[in-house]
């Protein structure tokens, strides 16, 4: 079993008739999915998604893949294949197209419709190549065959990539719901046919590799939703992913059955459902939808609100309702339904929202107390099924944290994939498929690229560390005036603190220590501003640590006179 090594250096030149695969995201994490395939000097990119920030990344809006590996080769990109329209697979497309706007976007009708709607906000008109399941299209040396897969969003596709180096099957995100709401099954026949042809490398979704058995069918959610509607006496507020068209359809069907009107809340929810309705993926009965601005005019027992915020996102509609920072006010007797799974890392934020909603008297129904959501990702039984169908010579688990990748690798070994042909890589690790053997051959730089407002890539790990310190410990600013020739103190020190929790009068104790330290520096003939700042920082830092056991950010300001 191959695995990454911290000492990996740059890869050697790609051998003739070799295929190179470099993941720029999606390995060791849930999100930021992006894989680059190289053959004969040409590139094919599969997916280009975002990762959402953790609590220890304050101020960050999105995290993008690192495009540095391909930035100097943008003209070599034949196409960008999008397996489906979830943000962790398409969210970074606008940022890549800023660097080359005419990269062809290849995907299903719904996927292209949703990405085009997003790109309109960035004032980018994409080059679109619409494909359907069963279709084969060539992009330079890459022949791509598209295979229908079932997921938590309609129109998802797997892609089989053929080059002279071999056949690679990339499943995208998938599950094997045998009774899907839209009747669109994962095409196991196509997987078996590809297996018969000979899959040289299988790259498969690992998210639920630790979950035994098979994922529950979406149809089993409908009776639970119906029970929620029957038991609700006032408003029903449903929080869901803005891309979960199947779930929104189920809510609308239940609303029509129980005589309630529906309002969509949140820009992304309104945008995505508008596209889905226009393209025929969402069926909305006449008269069911009402404008969110008119919702207060309707009796509470006659309305359903569908909004974003199921992951506790601070600026999403549901979080703002929980904090009483939204025009819609949660009231006693309201029912709130969190109709989504919990993305790893969001537990604390979601718990905070649930507590806030309960505080105002809402009844909150979520995955922890009712079956209101099923996963969109194949569980271990389904993954084993696909491994046995496709019989890959080499296997590379993708889309998952380390524990998911390891678990999926274990499943592959159980089905007979030789241990030495199983590659567990991480972002930036180079995998070459040469003469039917997949091996790790090196690594390329591949870090996080942070989006903060309109700033892309300007926020560094150092800046985030500073933000964490400021958020946790506050800061202390010390202003002194010194003689530019002698370095002697001529004014100050003046001390200002914010967020440190230290009483301003307490700083009187450290001022003599600062004066004495600066006097000692001046006596030694040092007038260097950098040395003076270092002395102040060390003196104040030691005093704060000894007195309060705290480590605020200390900012000395030296004015030369």
Write 226-231 long-range contacts (CB < 8 A, 24+).
226/254, 226/257, 228/254, 228/335, 228/337, 228/365, 228/370, 228/372, 229/254, 229/255, 229/257, 229/258, 229/260, 230/258, 231/335
Given CA atoms 460, 466, 472, 474 in this order, what sign does their dihedral have? Answer: negative
Could you give the strand order of the β-sheet that contains 394-398, starting from the edge strand earlier in sequence? 136-139, 142-148, 157-163, 166-170, 201-205, 394-398
Residue 374, marked binder: yes
Residue 377, marked binder: yes
Q: How far apart are CA 497 and CA 511, in angstroms?
A: 14
Q: How far apart are CA 384 and CA 408, in angstroms?
A: 9
The CA-CA-CA angle for residues 221, 375, 348, to 5°, reads 105
Q: How far apart are CA 62 and CA 20, in angstroms?
A: 28
Residue 408, marked binder: no
Distances (CA, A) of 326 to 110, 329, 332, 489: 31, 7, 16, 53
Tokens of 213: 């058995």
Tokens of 458: 């300007």
Residue 341, marked binder: no
CA-CA-CA-CA dihedral for 287, 293, 299, 303, to nearest 10: 50
Q: Please report which helix (H) or strand (E) contains residue 221, including its range.
A: helix 221-230
What is the radius of gyration, based on Cα positions, of the chain?
28
Residue 404, marked binder: no
Cβ atoms of 162 and 138 within 8 Å: the answer is no
Cα separation of the two ends of the chain: 66
Instruction: Determine the length of the chain.
Output: 561
Given CA atoms 10, 14, 15, 17 in this order, what sign does their dihedral have? Answer: positive
Cβ atoms of 204 and 395 within 8 Å: the answer is yes
Cβ atoms of 431 and 440 within 8 Å: the answer is yes
Residue 351: strand pairing partners: none
Q: How far apart are CA 11 and CA 440, in angstroms?
A: 9
Decide: residue 54, CB within 10 A, 0-12 exposed, 13-18 middle, 19+ buried. exposed
**Residues making up the binding site for substrate:** 373-377
**Residues making up the binding site:** 373-377
């Amino acid at each position: 079993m191959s695995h990454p090594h911290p000492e990996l250096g740059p890869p050697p030149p790609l051998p003739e008739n070799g295929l190179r695969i470099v993941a720029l995201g999606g390995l060791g994490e849930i999100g930021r999915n992006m894989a680059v395939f190289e053959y004969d000097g040409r590139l094919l990119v599969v997916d280009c998604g975002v990762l959402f920030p953790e609590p220890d990344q304050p101020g960050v809006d999105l995290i993008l893949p690192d495009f540095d590996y391909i930035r100097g080769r943008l003209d070599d990109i034949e196409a960008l294949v999008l397996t489906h329209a979830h943000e962790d697979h398409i969210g970074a497309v606008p940022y890549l197209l800023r660097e080359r706007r005419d990269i062809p976007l290849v995907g299903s009708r719904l996927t292209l419709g949703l990405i085009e709607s997003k790109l309109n906000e960035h004032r980018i008109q994409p080059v679109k190549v619409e494909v359907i399941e069963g279709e084969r299209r060539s992009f330079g040396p890459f022949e791509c065959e598209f295979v229908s897969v079932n997921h938590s969003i309609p129109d998802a596709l797997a892609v089989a990539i053929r080059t002279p180096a071999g056949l690679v099957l990339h499943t995208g995100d998938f599950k094997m719901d045998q009774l899907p709401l839209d009747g669109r099954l994962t095409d196991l026949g196509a997987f078996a046919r590809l297996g018969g042809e000979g899959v040289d490398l299988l790259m498969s979704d690992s998210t639920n590799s630790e979950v035994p058995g098979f994922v529950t069918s979406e149809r089993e959610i409908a009776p639970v939703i119906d029970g929620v509607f029957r038991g609700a006496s006032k408003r029903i507020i449903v929080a869901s992913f803005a891309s979960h068209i199947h779930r929104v359809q189920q809510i609308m069907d239940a609303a029509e059955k129980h005589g309630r009107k529906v309002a969509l809340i949140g820009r992304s929810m309104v945008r995505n459902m508008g596209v889905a309705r226009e393209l025929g993926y969402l069926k909305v009965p006449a008269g069911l939808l009402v404008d969110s601005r008119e919702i207060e005019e309707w009796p509470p027992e006659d309305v359903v609100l569908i909004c974003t915020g199921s992951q506790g996102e601070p600026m999403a509609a549901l979080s703002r309702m929980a904090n009483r920072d939204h025009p819609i006010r949660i009231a006693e007797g309201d029912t709130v339904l969190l109709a989504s799974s919990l993305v790893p890392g969001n537990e604390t934020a979601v718990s905070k929202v649930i507590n806030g909603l309960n505080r105002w008297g809402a009844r909150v129904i979520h995955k922890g107390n009712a079956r209101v959501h099923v996963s969109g990702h194949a569980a271990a039984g389904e993954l084993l099924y696909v491994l046995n169908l496709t019989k890959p010579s080499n296997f590379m688990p993708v889309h998952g944290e380390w524990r998911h990748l390891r678990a999926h690798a274990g499943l592959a070994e159980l089905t007979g994939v030789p241990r030495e042909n199983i590659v567990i890589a991480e972002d930036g690790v180079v995998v070459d498929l040469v003469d039917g053997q997949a091996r790790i051959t090196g690594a390329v730089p591949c870090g996080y690229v942070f989006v903060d407002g309109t700033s892309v890539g300007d926020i560094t790990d150092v800046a985030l560390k500073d933000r964490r310190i400021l958020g946790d410990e506050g800061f202390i600013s010390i202003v002194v005036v010194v003689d530019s020739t002698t370095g002697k103190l001529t004014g100050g020190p003046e001390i200002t603190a914010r967020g440190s929790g230290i009483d301003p009068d307490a700083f009187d104790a450290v001022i003599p220590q600062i004066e004495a330290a600066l006097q000692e520096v001046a006596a030694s003939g040092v007038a260097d501003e950098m040395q003076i700042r270092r002395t102040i920082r060390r003196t104040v830092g030691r005093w704060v640590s000894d007195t309060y056991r705290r480590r605020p950010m200390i900012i000395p300001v030296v004015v030369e006179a």
